Amino acid sequence: MAKITYIEHNGTEHVVEVANGLTVMEGARDNNIPGIEADCGGACACSTCHVYVAKEWVAKLSPAQDMELDMLDFAYEPDPERSRLTCQIKVTDELDGLVVQMPERQI
């Protein structure tokens, strides 16, 4: 299990425990975190679970695959270094302390 901090665009923080094997998106959904819509339910078919990963965590995540990179083209104000889709980040013990921030809006 990992503690993940979700930061809304307005700065409101939500620290929740997410079980290993779930995605960061599922952790947000299961804990009613506002700002992650996840319209496609985690199929990597939209960009409504887009977040900015805290700089100190970027290198600790596995790299985004081509499908995720394609979907990020549709995200609101993607950052080439920090943007990720939370449906593509699997929770493990190594992600304990992960911090993600939601964009102003999801597209």
Helix ranges (DSSP H) in 1-107: 24-30, 55-58, 66-72
- Between vectors from CA 29 to CA 24 and to CA 35, what angle results, nearest 5°? 85
* Separation between Cα atoms, residue 51 and residue 81, nearest integer Å: 11
Instruction: Specify the amino acid at residue 99.
Output: V
Mean pLDDT in order along the chain per 10 residues (107 residues): 98 98 97 95 95 98 96 96 98 98 95
CATH number for the region 2-101 comes to: 3.10.20.30
Mean pLDDT across the chain: 97
- φ/ψ of residue 7, rounded to 5: -115, 120
Tell me the pTM.
0.95
